Amino acid sequence: MDKGIGMASSGRRVASLGECMIELSGPGGGPFDAGFGGDTLNTAVYLARLGVAVDYVTALGDDRFSTTMCAAWQAEQVGTDHVLRVPGRLPGLYMIETDPTGERRFLYWRDRAPARELFSLPGSPALITALEGYDLLYLSGISLAIWGAEGRATLYALLDRVRRRGGKVAFDTNWRPRLWADAATARAAYSEMLRRTDIALPGASELNELFGDADADAVIARMRAAGVGEIVVKLDPPGCLVCDGGDPVMVPAERGVAVVDTTAAGDSFSAGYLAARLAGAPAAQAARTGHRLAATVIQYRGAIIPRAAMPSLDGL
């Protein structure tokens, strides 16, 4: 019987790796509201709210925006002991412009963001040693893109050591073409990453665009060939196909939900799924938990919903 990916979540050490940026949002031309956001950060916050002990791993500057970010994460019970602070540097910035029809456009300034150098900073050797002791490392395709070839090589070696020790790796494909020099580089990096992945959370449409995989069955075949043991293919229309060693099982998304903002739908799904698996739930049940959390999140504006609206893991 499927026992999940570990003991009760309180007994596991989880780290979410990636980048969080300053966010400016508002109508075209401003004025803009300032906040912050990032895919793996969103997942870390929702994991923490579901009772998982999770640390966020990134690099920031020594500016007040970086300090404010860390304070906000700490208030969410997300650990920040492994956030590297780089003197004289600033985090990345992105702007969301919304036109009168509600369509959003994203503009990025991140080329000098310290998160891109996470594995080559003075504090990186100690960070890498610390990460080797975690039970679950979570990252995304965006994380993979920003670290570059040298950073990815260091990451792959770290993941190999974590898995040899018995730890696991979860990977959300989160394919963003604009972050890659070319598709061939991305395909090679994703292929290397999948060979080091225990739990894959791919989007069927993403893998169609990147690899030309025709459908969810082709995505599963690719993941299995890479050695991934647990696969959750996110589908359009919303739903997922769960494959945990046996035949794939279709798990539909929640229906009849009033959609206000789809920001962080996938990030929160990942958090709900992983939290349920850490608590011992079977994969299909964990997918339902992920869907229910995502269905709650998309009823509110922004990536992180109000605390009062957040359901408990038992409530999902």
Give pLDDT, residue 1: 43
238-290 pLDDT, tens per residue? 899 999 988 999 999 988 888 888 888 999 999 999 999 999 999 999 999 99
Can you give the pLDDT at residue 33? 80
Give me the catalytic one of 39, 198, 244, 267: 267
Write down the pLDDT at residue 8. 46
Average pLDDT, rounded, for the chain: 91
Q: What is the pLDDT of residue 262?
A: 84
The model's pTM:
0.93
Average pLDDT over every residue of 112-126: 96
pLDDT exceeds cutoff 90 at 221: yes
Quote the CA–CA distance of 196 and 241 in Å, as a whole number: 21
Q: Which domains does the chain have, with CATH numbers?
A: 10-19+40-91+120-304 (3.40.1190.20)
CA distance 102 to 98: 6
Query: Which range, of 41-50, 97-106, 134-143, averages the lowest pLDDT?
Result: 97-106
The per-residue pLDDT for 257 is 86
Decide which of 258 and 182 is more confident. Answer: 182
45 Cβ contact partners less than 8 Å away, ≥ 6 residues apart: 73, 76, 78, 271, 304
Is 173 or 99 the better-scoring residue by pLDDT?
173
8 Å CB contact between 228 and 268 = no
Helix (H) or strand (E) run with residue 314 in it: none
Q: Give the span between the Cα atoms of 150 and 84, in whole angstroms.
A: 18
Is pLDDT of 98 > 70? no
pLDDT in tens, 10-45: 568 999 999 999 888 766 666 778 888 899 999 999
Predicted local distance difference test score (pLDDT) of residue 27: 65
- What pLDDT band is residue 101 in, cutting at 50, 70 and 90? low
Q: Is the confidence at residue 73, as pLDDT, over 50?
A: yes
* Pairing outcome for strands 93-98 and 104-109: antiparallel
Whole-number percent of the chain with pLDDT over 90: 77
177: pLDDT strictly greater than 90: yes
Q: How confident is the model at residue 6 (pLDDT cuts 50, 70, 90)?
A: low
C-beta of residue 143 within 8 angstroms of C-beta of residue 179: no
Q: Exposed, middle or buried: residue 281 (CB in 10 Å: 0-12, 13-18, 19+)? A: buried
What pLDDT, on the 0 to 100 scale, is given for residue 28? Answer: 63
Within 10 angstroms of residue 64's Cβ, the number of other Cβ atoms is 8
For residue 267, indicate whether it is catalytic: yes
Mean pLDDT of 119-146: 97
